[in-house]
Amino acid sequence: MQAPCATAAIPVQSIVSNNMQTVTTIAELRQVVGAARRAGKSIGFVPTMGNLHQGHLNLLITARERTDFVVSSIFVNPLQFNAKDDLERYPRTLEEDQQSLIEYGCDLLFAPSESEVYSSDRASQTFVEVPGISEMYCGASRPGHFRGVTTIVNKLFNLVQPDLAVFGKKDFQQLHIIRRMVTDLSMPVELVGVDTARAESGLALSSRNGYLTKDELKRAPVFYAQLRTIHDALVGGSDDFEGLIKQAIESLERESFKPDYIHIVRRSDLQPATPKDRELVVLAAAFLGQARLIDNLEVDC
């Protein structure tokens, strides 16, 4: 990670609302975080793409509990989207998000433009990539996605230099890949994973749930229900992984889902599990209408 930048006075053109400051440039971000660090505060960081829901706010709560100065970022990262239309339709709700962040005690919001973060010459952009696992599961369906995630997270870590960063376990593969990056590159940041926030129906909260029609929203909880069925069978002693996955896929198809994948993997390295493994996670992705839903469930056999 880079050393903190020099602290010459930079005019901060920020919105100060209650106690939260919103900054849009790297220079402002470094100035404000540098001041907090010089005041002896530990820095917590919650990177997001905005359109915040309770799942994100739970990450804020964890950062607030564990550190003195909480920074969040809202940046819809073009490098992690494969399809231009997916990037364009991604919900942008900055004002509501600012209100939520204020309510949950965020100290500083970094909300940069694309040109502040990346040079216009995308072809010469430096990437950070965790090989192997980045091409599996979600990475197989969305080539380049995780390279985009690790590149932006690395960059944000360089900018904020947090002591602790908080991520949701809903993106279980993403968190695993970021852990690998942090370990492999000896980055001085503690990573904390927070449990998935769910609606009463079990549906994992996600910005993409907004793409579901009313009727699809009613059917969406079947996705989590199928993961629970696999979970219960595994805990009950079943080692028929293929059979369990086949049944779940058929049940989803009956409800008009288009399953992308369901895998039963080892939690430690996300490689395919064997019946001898005890700490597992079921990873799944499926389309329902316009939305690509992902979810997972940890299993201790």
Binding of ligand PAF by 295 (CB under 6 A): no
Q: Please report where in the chains the tokens 């316009």 appear, as a residue.
A: 290
Determine the Cα–Cα distance for residues 200 and 293; give it in Å rounded to an integer. Answer: 17
**Nearest distance from C-beta of residue 72 to ligand PAF, angstroms:** 10
Choices 22-30, 57-65, 145-153, 259-267; region in contact with ligand PAF by CB under 6 A:
145-153
Binding of ligand PAF by 262 (CB under 6 A): no
Binding of ligand PAF by 152 (CB under 6 A): yes
Q: Residue 205 in contact with residue 194, Cβ under 8 Å?
A: no
Total of residues contacting ligand PAF (CB under 6 A): 10
Site residues for ligand PAF, 220-249, by CB under 6 A, read none
Binding of ligand PAF by 49 (CB under 6 A): yes
Of 108, 149, 197, 284, which lies in the binding site for ligand PAF, with binding defined by CB under 6 A? 149
What is the contact mask toward ligand PAF in residues 153 to 192, using x (rule: CB under 6 A)? Answer: x-----------------x--x------------------
CB nearer to ligand PAF: give 88 or 240: 88
Of 14, 67, 77, 134, which lies in the binding site for ligand PAF, with binding defined by CB under 6 A? 77
Q: Which of 30, 18, 62, 28 is nearest to 193 (CA)?
A: 62
**Nearest distance from C-beta of residue 259 to ligand PAF, angstroms:** 22
Binding of ligand PAF by 296 (CB under 6 A): no
Confirm whether 56 is a catalytic residue: yes
CB nearer to ligand PAF: give 20 or 294: 294
Of 28, 32, 44, 47, which lies in the binding site for ligand PAF, with binding defined by CB under 6 A? 47
Active site residues: 56
Residues interacting with ligand PAF, by CB under 6 A?
47-49, 77, 80, 149, 152-153, 171, 174
